[in-house]
Amino acid sequence: MSAQAKHPYHMVDPSPWPALGAFGALVLALGAILYFHEVPVFGMEDLGVITLIPGFALVILTMVFWWRDVVKESVVQKAHTEPVNDGLRFGMVLFIASEVMFFVAFFWAFFHNATGFSTTTLQWPPANITPLDAWELPFYNTVILLTSGGTVTRAHLFIEEGNNEAAARWIFLTAALGAIFLGLQAFEYVHAEFSLTEGIYPSTFYLATGFHGFHVFVGTVFLIVCGFRAAKGHFKPHKHVGFQSAAWYWHFVDVVWLFLFVWVYWLLALPVRTFSG
């Protein structure tokens, strides 16, 4: 048989990372359940967020090694032909579409109660809840994410001009804005006047905003990887699928936050709507 490829595709080498990623997600979900319900682990109580660390570590480990292998396929093996790149782009689009469905479900849990469809919720926000002021930290975070959307677009323009060095600086700036966003959101959670277990409002609020925060974390890591790749000159004006995927993901995170800010933090947190039984 001829060793010369007769098609523009390539066979992916056997990889342990999909299985490790799935296991890491399982461990992370289990840790979240133990944290939310304050379940003792091996007789130890009050572990708090420590139960989340193993899952996070496995997820990050998967990201590091899986992306390393994908970069090797592209840069070293030259296996990412244009049809392969098209497949990667389409795969990213489908992935983002699946994430949209996640948020649709989480948002509806909030809207179902906020708009009076629930027979158990007669007032929104509930009488014992003082919502966060949308025009304080949430507004600052909105400005930060909108700014980060501009900086990642500027990085994209530099890559299309063939200036990887300048692009790397703008990518790292975008990642820094993402890290600031996460820091402010953590500060907001710590100082909120309601906790996760105080009813339907806190549980749906933290579910929607926390899941978005997790996406910001993933997107920030994604951008940091792209920043180092840009610094090494991996991206070409006609071939930068890795960065394209990171930029699309980041813009998706921006759009979701705008939706969160308008509906969850602002309009549906205005006091007080009372529903008749």
Q: What pLDDT is attached to residue 1? A: 44
- Secondary structure in 3-state letters for the chain: CCCCCCCCCCCCCCCCHHHHHHHHHHHHHHHHHHHHHCCCECCECCCHHHHHHHHHHHHHHHHHHHHHHHHHHHHCCCCCCHHHHHHHHHHHHHHHHHHHHHHHHHHHHHHHHHCCCCCCCCEECCCCCCCCCCCCHHHHHHHHHHHHHHHHHHHHHHHHCCCHHHHHHHHHHHHHHHHHHHHHHHHHHHHCCCCCCCCHHHHHHHHHHHHHHHHHHHHHHHHHHHHHHHHCCCCECCECHHHHHHHHHHHHHHHHHHHHHHHHHHHHHCCCEECCC
Q: For the whole model, what pTM was predicted?
A: 0.86
Q: What pLDDT is attached to residue 2? A: 47
Q: What pLDDT is attached to residue 200? A: 87
Average pLDDT along the chain, 277 residues, taken 10 residues at a time: 64 89 94 84 78 90 89 87 91 96 92 77 81 94 97 97 96 98 96 87 93 94 94 93 96 96 88 60
* Domains identified in the chain and CATH numbers: 16-79 (1.10.287.70), 88-274 (1.20.120.80)
